Structures are given as C-alpha cells and as structure tokens.
A and B are shown apart, each in its own frame.
Chain A
C-alpha cells in the first residue's frame, strides 16, 4: 500500500490561510489523493480529493505537485471550527472506499 507522511501537528491563527502538507513519494499512477478531517468527538468527514490536477471546493483547495509525490491541503481562512485532525489518504483503483488511515495532522487554530 502506498503510504503518506504528514506532520503530527500544526498551528494556525484564525482567519489566516493554512497549508497542510502530505508526502506520498511511492504513489502510483492510478492512486487518488483524498483528504478527510475529524473534528473532536465526531466521525471523519470528507474534505476533497484529486488525481493530477489541483482541485477546489467550498471547503478547501488541493494542490498536487507535478510529480504527484506530494500534495497540500489549503484552507483559505482558518476558523476555530477548522481545528481537527486532517488525514491525507491514497486510494487505488479497485480499492473502492476502503480507506487506510494514518495518524494525520492535528491542526489547532488560535483566535
């Protein structure tokens, strides 16, 4: 299974952008890059995913390096409600929805 590496924790100030990095140097050509987050006392929730091109949605942006060995989740203006553990996960063709979670990055947001 292709693995991802994320920092254990990051800090941000409220209303500032946050860039959460993820390394996946063993990614294969058919692996999708997914991001989920888990707020305290809740189940994980989907944030965004992509394959090769950068992606934007109402929650965040995903920037994928040209060689696809790394990606960055961008929260454009962090709020206190964005404090959560963020997981970067690779999913491969024929895997369907079987996500393999790592430790993720615990994001704290200071007012």
Chain B
C-alpha cells in the first residue's frame, strides 16, 4: 500500500447509527487532517493532528469525533449524524514544514446519512 488509504469508500448510515471512517498513511508523515467536501461547496478543514495531538478543531459539531492513535492512523467516529452531514470526507497527511507543506490526500469516504 502506498500513499493515503481511506476505508470504507462508501458508507450509508441512519441517523441513529454509530460508524467510523479510517485513514492510514504510508508516507512517514507527522501531520494528518480531515476535510469535508459537500456538494457544490469548497473543501472545509475539520481537524488537524500534528505529532498525534489535535491542534485544530474548526468548530466541528461533537457528533464528529476524531482519533489519532499513532502517526499513521486517523479515525473519524460518527454518531447521531444529520442528513446534511452527507458528504465526501477526505483524509490527508503531510510532513509538517512551515509554508511549504505538501498534502497527500486519500480518495475519500462518501457518506450518505438517511
């Protein structure tokens, strides 16, 4: 496996379900990110982890709960979501470096909330 891998690629869940999105990076990077891409809207930064510590939470509702157990893995735990949370969730990683960091994105997990 190379790059950034996201599973599952597609997920359908009801509003009362609990599910998790998984991201794994094989690049030796020290920072990981969750982005959300809703239809016809720009990508929105949700969470940033640097050296396994959460350094940013962009006013994301508590029904989204990130977890970064080590520098290679990032999870997004989902519970009691709303239909408007349906979107493409993208994970990315980078080797943190001021200004010049290049992000490598996964292919995304397409989430549909019924």
Contacts and interface: CB of A to CB of B under 8 A. Distances in A.
B99 A93 contact: yes
B99 A43 contact: no
Interface of B: 4, 31, 33, 35, 42-45, 48, 50, 56, 90, 92, 94, 96-108
B105 A96 contact: no
Interface of A: 30-32, 34, 36, 41-46, 49, 51, 91-104
A42 B42 contact: no
A46 B92 CA distance: 11
Contacts of B105: 43-45
Given A100-B45, A101-B43, A43 B98 contact: no
Given A95-B98, A96-B31, 11 more contacts: A34-B102, A42-B107, A43-B106, A46-B103, A46-B104, A51-B99, A91-B99, A93-B98, A95-B99, A96-B96, A97-B103
Contacts of B48: 96-98
A91 B96 CA distance: 12
Given A32-B99, A91-B101, A96 B107 contact: no
A99 B107 contact: no
Interface of A is mostly: loop
A93 B45 CA distance: 18
A97 B101 contact: yes
Contacts of A30: 99
A34 B101 CA distance: 9
Contacts of A101: 35, 42-44
Contacts of A96: 31, 48, 50, 94, 96-98, 101
A97 B50 CA distance: 10
15 contacts: A43-B4, A43-B90, A43-B107, A44-B105, A46-B104, A51-B99, A91-B99, A91-B100, A96-B50, A97-B31, A97-B102, A99-B45, A101-B42, A101-B44, A102-B42
